[in-house]
Amino acid sequence: MRTIALAGLVLLWTAWAAAIPGPAAAPPPQPATVAPPSDLAAGDTPNDAGQSISLTWRPSPDEALGVEGYEILRAESAEGPYAKVGYVPSGFGSFDDQAVPRDGRDFFYRVRAVGAGIAPSEVAAAGPARSSQQWYNAARTNALVGTLLFTLIVIYFIQGARRGRHLFIRRIAGLAAVEEAVGRATEMGKPILFCPGMDPVTSISTLAALNILGQVAKKAAEYDTPLVVPNRDPIVYTVAEAIVKEAYAEIGRPDAYNHDSVFYLTDSQMGYTSGVNGIMARERPATNFFMGYFYAESLVLAETGAATGAIQIAGTDSITQLPFFITACDYTLMGEELYAASAYLGKQPMLIGTLKAQDWSKALVGLLLVAGAALALSGPGLRQFVLRLLSID
Amino acid sequence: MKFLIALSKIDRRVVYLLLALAVVVPMIVSFNVRFHVDRSTRDLFEAVDRIPPGGQPLMLVFDYDPQIMPELDPMATAILRHCFARGIRVVGVTTGAQGAALGERAMARAAAEHGKRIGEDYCYFGYKLFLSMIYFGENARRALPVDHYGRPFDSLPMMRGIRNYDDIPLVIDLAGSSILNSWIVYMGARYHVRLGAGVTAVMAPDFYQFLQTGQLAGQLSGMKGAAEYEQLVVERGYAPAKGLASRAMNAISASHLLLIALIVMGNVGYFAARRAKPKNPQGGA
Amino acid sequence: MTMSTDPWVWLAALLSLFIFSYLYKDNPLFKFAEHLFTGLSVGYLIVIYYNNIVRSYLLNPVLADHRWVLLVPFAIGLLYLFRFIPKLSHLMLIPIAITLGIWNGIALPLTIEADIIRQMQGTMINTSMFRNPWDPYTGLAVGILIAVGVICTITYFFFSREHKGALKVSAHIGIWFVMIGFGASFGYTVMARVSLLIGRLQFMFTEWIHLIK
């Protein structure tokens, strides 16, 4: 900024000096001579796909005398001819020439300090330098190790769960409420409402919600409590219907399944919301479940439900909507608790294995944080080590 | 006691009415307030201000749709005014189809105000796939073959010499969804793109962590962020008057005061009701 | 007080009023405006997709520049349509597999880099934090707060052990951090929603009824 202003002043001054006819014909102002940049080094840019040569130099010590920037010149032989390939403003001492015509050929570079009021001054040529491409980006080794480690942990636990190894998952507080809530609806002789979220079946939260729906449907079938499942997505609707039917069959009461209990409402977000609000106002369910992914409608749904006096259990990994569910519902499964609840209830090896892998990855991250901080605080050498471990270029 | 309990049971239509008044009255009876400018806003402003005029362009990404326009449109306008007044070139693009018309409108308006010419001082590429914007990191010409109006990349004078993200000193994503996280992950990590952000207030808390690590150069949060940027633009003499967001700040303050009062009243009423009827089985989670 | 003479401004203002009428109760005017919006946005999206995607990335390069190779991904994309033929619907899995494979390949290392490694780096307390201990981004005070918050929150979401002993204390602190975060999020959301209302009213009072200058 300052240099630009300075250069501007110099320009203005020269223009002014030129515009005013002096008493005697003033000689044209002599361009100032400045010391050239020095220590120019050129070499292949590391960890790239080729055709790039990196340059570094020490900026001219006389930058304040009017150096506006540096021109970068390239040639195929040390003698030239040199052609301009780039420009950087003053204050900088590095440039990546990313337009190198070919890998594996020799190139020579010069850097020239330029400015409006100064005579260009060049550093001696550097080179030869060759660009090349690297197959492996060594700067990203830590990301590779992280990826491999995480993948291995996931595979290990899924395989373990498949082979029938017992993998412990703690009981989640909100889940105890599920049974209680179904019981309450039975006592009151009122239906249970279950909303499987607003997302399509491909979303993890919808899958988790459908898993929980299966368990709720089993409880409902056991106690003969009516179940109401309005859907927003046609495919989720089909899957939800199959899951509820299966739950009734598993309990041994396929005949008790009511064909009107699972239905498709509408695809429109607010249309769905007002539809569900209508159901809550008319049928007054004793228990409302809002499981899956929700958007701006979360508060509208949960508030209407609270106004009808229903017990409400929500579960979502939509972080922005969680505060609303927490304030308006009796129990809320937060974020990963939703997946954990679904794995806990569903007992599928894939889900349990993934959950365990996530758990141990989290533990690993926590451990690394503590260990890394301890190392970083214990001395400059170790601090460098930690920074290198985590640095990405 | 009864009065206290009644406080927590105000009819919602009364609340709507009070809120409408709290918003409308300060809008009509306008007075100028100065407010604190957050550091994240200042950082973004400085990042834009450091771009040399007339050189490599800033990229402005309009990743928002009409539903959240009141929060993000003033940001776009303030940033564009800043750039155009300073002579910084701007490339506009969006990765959300609904943002295409909004971006076009914001750019055309700001350009007309400052007498800027399309193709030379600014370009607008409209809706492009996110995948194309990743590919921009490899080859800008192939990623954006034509602009929003069907003009080829090579025919736009200011785009000559733009090879990839290395020639874009700053990308600002104005987003109302998690797409900003994708910009941080794909463009930030893969191509070391210098990123700034403008987000809706709902999303603002989710992105502060990226400011702390430097993955975002700065961030505007909601309408307040837009107003702060407008204030900086006026303070530095880039525009004579503040924009829509600054004028909304009084209404925001008044509505916040009302809501704080309602929350306090609701809680007082809730606890009063609990004391009056100690055997209430239902408690909040 | 004057009013706008632009018919489009009138249309926009009336539709806004139709939507606001929902605040009183659900009614046909609200439904009309809602359906109009849904229909219009679908139509608009089709035009945008055709112009900005199909034409600029497929039709023009193939027809004008003869880049025939682009027909290969186009053909793979067309396999999606087999979803309507039950017998051949498994062919749909090919484009899905390719898309998932490519995205996961790009996403996994970059996500680990941007969302985990960089964030871990930011969470670790280090000696550089002592330089300016009260800085709101890089100071020691904030650094300690973040580190404690992250570790305690992780323990709350740790499902492989019962929350007993030290784990219980840590998880309890964690849930406090989570709740404070939700409080902040709630406050911001309030501002966001009020802003949307203000935005609409600004439009009505500046462009429709010229109440504010």
Domain A167-347: which topology?
A: Rossmann fold (3.40.50)
Structural domain includes residue C211? yes
How many whole angstroms separate alpha carbon A75 and alpha carbon A83? 6
| Residue among B16, B24, B202 minimizing CB distance to C188 | B202
Tens-place pLDDT, residues A329-374 = 999 999 889 988 888 887 788 888 888 999 999 999 999 888 888 8
pLDDT reported for residue B32: 66
User: Could you tell me if B117 and B159 lie in one domain?
Assistant: yes
User: Could you tell me if B137 and B209 lie in one domain?
Assistant: yes
- What six digits make up the tokens of B191? 């191509």
pLDDT reported for residue C120: 87
Residue B145 and residue C60: Cβ atoms within 8 Å?
yes
Structural domain includes residue C14? no
Question: Which pairs with CB-CB distance under 8 Å and at least 24 residues apart come from C170-173?
Answer: C173/C148
User: Could you tell me if B174 and B129 lie in one domain?
Assistant: yes
Q: Is the pLDDT of residue A20 over 80?
A: no
- CB-defined contacts A:C, below 8 A: 108
The DSSP output letter for B68 is G
Contacts of C18 (CB under 8 A, 6+ apart): C29, C30, C32, C33
pLDDT reported for residue C150: 93
CA C4 from centroid of its chain's CA atoms:
35
User: Could you tell me if B121 and B202 lie in one domain?
Assistant: yes
User: Could you tell me if B106 and B228 lie in one domain?
Assistant: yes
User: Could you tell me if B142 and B65 lie in one domain?
Assistant: yes
pLDDT reported for residue A36: 82
Structural domain includes residue C209? yes
Q: What residues pair up with A83 in beta bridges, in sequence order?
A: A74
Q: Is the pLDDT of residue C66 over 70?
A: yes
Tens-place pLDDT, residues A282-324 = 899 999 999 999 988 898 899 999 989 999 999 999 888 999 9
Structurally, how many domains does chain B consist of?
A: 2
Percent of chain B with pLDDT over 90: 54
**Contact A335/C at CB under 8 A:** yes
How many whole angstroms separate alpha carbon A127 and alpha carbon A44? 11
Mean pLDDT across the stretch A237-254? 92
pLDDT reported for residue C52: 86
pLDDT reported for residue B270: 83
Q: Which of A98, A303, A393 is most worth mutating to test chain B (most B CB atoms within 10 A of its CB)?
A: A98
Q: Is the pLDDT of residue B214 over 50?
A: yes
Structural domain includes residue B136? yes
Structurally, how many domains does chain C consist of?
A: 1
**Contact A7/B at CB under 8 A:** no
Q: Domains of chain A: which residue ranges? A: 2-6+30-129, 138-160+352-390, 167-347
Q: Which domain holds residue C173?
A: 129-213
What kind and span of H or E run contains B60?
strand B58-63
| Residue among C35, C125, C189 minimizing CB distance to A320 | C189
For A177-186, A240-249, A327-336, B163-172, which range has the lowest pLDDT when averaged over its residues?
A177-186
pLDDT reported for residue B261: 92
Tens-place pLDDT, residues A73-99 = 888 888 878 888 888 777 778 888 877
- Chain C residue numbers with beta carbons less than 8 Å from the beta carbon of B211 are 137
- What six digits make up the tokens of A338? 């939703």
Top pLDDT among A13 and C94 is at C94
How many whole angstroms separate alpha carbon C145 and alpha carbon C125? 10
Structural domain includes residue C50? no
| Residue among C49, C184, C197 minimizing CB distance to B205 | C184
Structural domain includes residue C195? yes
pLDDT reported for residue A392: 53
Mean pLDDT across the stretch C5-31? 86
Q: What is the mean pLDDT of chain C?
A: 87
What kind and span of H or E run contains A344?
helix A336-346
Residue C198 and residue B27: Cβ atoms within 8 Å?
yes
pLDDT reported for residue B281: 45
For A271-275, A330-334, B229-233, which range has the lowest pLDDT when averaged over its residues?
A271-275
Structural domain includes residue C187? yes
Q: What is the ipTM for the molecules in this complex?
A: 0.86
What kind and span of H or E run contains C165?
none
Tens-place pLDDT, residues B63-103 = 998 888 999 999 999 999 999 999 999 999 999 888 899 99
- Chain B residue numbers with beta carbons less than 8 Å from the beta carbon of C189 are 201-202
pLDDT reported for residue B280: 45
Q: What is the SS3 assignment for C169?
A: helix
User: Could you tell me if B136 and B271 lie in one domain?
Assistant: no
CB B163 within 8 A of CB A98: yes
Q: Which domain holds residue B199?
A: 39-242
* CATH code, B61: 3.40.50
pLDDT reported for residue A134: 84
- Chain B residue numbers with beta carbons less than 8 Å from the beta carbon of A329 are 285
- Chain B residue numbers with beta carbons less than 8 Å from the beta carbon of C146 are 212
How many whole angstroms separate alpha carbon A62 and alpha carbon A46? 31
Structural domain includes residue C170? yes
Q: How far apart are the first and last CA of chain A?
A: 28
Under the banding of pLDDT at 50, 70 and 90, the label for residue C63 is very high
CB A230 within 8 A of CB A272: yes
Mean pLDDT across the stretch C66-80? 92
Structural domain includes residue B283? no
Under the banding of pLDDT at 50, 70 and 90, the label for residue A378 is confident
User: Could you tell me if B60 and B197 lie in one domain?
Assistant: yes
Tens-place pLDDT, residues C118-147 = 888 888 887 777 888 888 777 888 888 999
| Residue among C108, C185, C186 minimizing CB distance to A147 | C108
Q: Does domain A2-6+30-129 have CATH number 2.60.40.10?
A: yes
Find the largest Cα–Cα distance for chain B: 77
- What six digits make up the tokens of C191? 């501002």
User: Could you tell me if B214 and B154 lie in one domain?
Assistant: yes
CB C176 within 8 A of CB B229: no
Distance from CA of A131 to the nearest CA of B (A): 18
What is the number of other CB atoms lying within 10 angstroms of the CB of residue A370? 13
Structural domain includes residue C133? yes
Q: Is the pLDDT of residue A24 over 70?
A: no
Q: What is the SS3 assignment for A365?
A: helix
- Chain C residue numbers with beta carbons less than 8 Å from the beta carbon of B101 are 44
Q: What is the mean pLDDT of chain B?
A: 88
Structural domain includes residue B272? yes
Q: Is the pLDDT of residue A18 over 50?
A: no
User: Could you tell me if B268 and B218 lie in one domain?
Assistant: no
User: Could you tell me if B199 and B65 lie in one domain?
Assistant: yes
Mean pLDDT across the stretch C164-188? 92
User: Could you tell me if B120 and B222 lie in one domain?
Assistant: yes
How many whole angstroms separate alpha carbon A354 and alpha carbon A343? 9
Minimal Cα distance from B146: which residue of C? C56
CB A191 within 8 A of CB A285: yes
